[in-house]
Amino acid sequence: MKKLVILLTFLTSACVQQEIVDELLLIHATGIDYVDELNFRATVSVPIYKGDNGNNSGEGVTSETITAVGRTAKNIRAEMDSKSPKLINNSKLAVVLFNNEMAKKGIIEQGDTFYRDPLVGQRLYLGVFEGSTNQLLENQPSLQPEISKYLSELIEQNINNHNIPKSNMHVFVYRLYQEGMETYLPYLKKVNDQVQVTGVAIFKNDKMVSALSLEESIIFKMLIENFQGGTYEVALPDKEFASIRNLSAQSSYQVEMRKGMPEITLNLRTKGYVNEYSGIPLDQKKINEINHLLEEELTVEISKLIKKFQDLETDPVGLGFQVKTRTRGWDEQKWTDQYPNVKVHVNVDTIITHGGVSD
């Protein structure tokens, strides 16, 4: 009896379809383009392994694409399956790019498809690409033979080096559904045959409304997250400039209610050292001057950026969230009406620790 029981346990456990890595097409990148009101085009990029030719330089890998047009993710998938010799699988998906036209029309449906799929991880990078993602994935204009890996490393590198704020599937969905906060995605563009991260795409609900430049992106990053290790360039009078390294930023908010209108004070503390300075000499006096200019410049830039968001009636900084978490019985509708006219005071406090190792 005992033996029979053990035998039965093993017998009942092997009845699923096998998924052998060699026999799957693992999608690494997907591009989604706008076609017309109803349809969109999806392009998936799958790596093709050519076998081991004795080195590890990655030359054995190229990528290939499959394209399909359809109205829902499901019939796109059916069309792709009909074009593919092997089973297509989403479990290694690393990047999904939406073309900017698509992003302007709203990407909630497609985004939801990926969020819903348990095979897709939460660290998936989403991004907006200016131009056709279909051409991007097919032509592979990159330094690496495999475009999808290039794209995910590109975004990752830009986040780690503090050009753009943290972004992935989780952050996108978190902000999309958070009250008093709007979401953003990395914005990519092809410049001189090379793909670059050129800033951040700002959304209102699930629709892209604007794209920030890289300079604006780092300021935006200072407002929404604490980090260290960034770089910032200050323009000085007489066409001089100084670059601040190892910049750390910490922002905090204060909310005061005046006659039913919230007034927000933003305190930003930054710290860094001067790494590059075009003029000479760099003495303590000059450092103080740079410090002062940096403070002024950041204050102006931040105010400008917040004004820009208020004019666009979108709140990616999450000022509404700051007010919400400090108010009992917060009313989202009322806040939306107030938002474009809310006063935001900006206090910047910078410390420049030293001017490098040479005098």
Binding window for another protein (CB under 8 A); candidates: 97-105, 165-173, 240-248, 337-345: 165-173
Site for another protein contains 207 (CB under 8 A) = no
Helices 214-224 and 284-311 cross at an angle (nearest 10°) of: 90
Closest CA to 262 of 184, 330, 216: 330
Is there binding between residue 327 and another protein (CB under 8 A)?
Answer: yes
Q: Is 5 in the site for another protein (CB under 8 A)?
A: yes
- The yes or no reply on residue 9 touching another protein (CB under 8 A) is yes
The answer to whether 82 contacts another protein (rule: CB under 8 A) is no
Q: Does 179 bind another protein (CB under 8 A)?
A: yes
When binding is defined by CB under 8 A, the residue of 77, 190, 308, 326 that contacts another protein is: 326
Please give the Cα distance from 140 to 47 (Å, whole number): 12
Cα 308 from Cα 70, distance rounded (Å): 36
- CA 134 remoteness from chain centre: 20
Bridging pattern class, strands 95-99 and 125-130: parallel
Nearer to another protein, 256 or 311 (CB): 256
Of the candidates 217, 201, 223, the one whose C-alpha atom is nearest the C-alpha of residue 106 is 201
Return the residue of 122, 161, 284, 353 that touches another protein, per CB under 8 A.
Answer: 122
What percent of the residues of the chain are helix, what percent strand, and what percent coil, each to the nearest 5?
A: 35, 35, 30
Among 329, 341, 357, 359, indicate the residue that binds another protein (CB under 8 A): 329
With CB under 8 A as the contact rule, the residue among 50, 83, 86, 123 that binds another protein is: 123
Q: Which residues bind another protein (CB under 8 A)?
A: 2, 5, 8-9, 12-13, 15-17, 91, 112, 115, 118, 121-123, 170-171, 173-179, 181, 321-322, 325-329
